[in-house]
């Protein structure tokens, strides 16, 4: 009986985790640098915005939804494909 109950349980697929500074690609071809330094989600920056201390394009919430300016987009974290590349932190601009 216990085996039958255990067999009926659906194994919960672990939620994917994004890498700090990982470069990810959406199915539409756009690439983003991930910043995971936040406790309640992470930010996705275009490579240009990342290098110039710009504004994040998307916020990934704890449920894995990609929000654009606070509004849910059609994308989720599962749509992001790891390119295998890693960005580096932008160099500070000192004047």
What's the pLDDT score for residue 51?
93
CATH class of 19-85: mainly beta
Window from 4-8, 32-36, 41-45, 88-92 with minimum mean pLDDT: 4-8
Residue with token string 């992001």: 80
pTM: 0.79
Chain mean pLDDT for the chain: 87
64/46 Cα distance (integer angstroms): 18
CA within 13 Å, CB half, 19: 13
Extents of the domains making up the chain: 19-85
Q: How many CB atoms sit inside 10 A of residue 84's CB?
A: 9
CB-based contacts of 41, cutoff 8 Å, min separation 6: 59, 60, 61, 62
pLDDT 10s digits, 42-76: 999 999 999 999 999 999 999 999 999 999 999 99
């Amino acid at each position: 009986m216990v085996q039958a109950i255990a067999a009926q349980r659906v194994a919960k697929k672990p939620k994917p985790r994004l890498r700090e500074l990982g470069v990810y690609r959406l199915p539409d071809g756009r690439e983003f640098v991930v910043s995971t330094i936040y406790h309640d989600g992470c930010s996705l920056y275009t490579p240009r915005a990342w290098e110039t201390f710009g504004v994040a394009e998307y916020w990934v919430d704890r449920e894995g939804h990609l929000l654009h300016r606070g509004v849910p987009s059609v994308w989720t974290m599962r749509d992001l494909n790891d390119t295998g590349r890693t960005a580096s932190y932008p160099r500070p601009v000192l004047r």
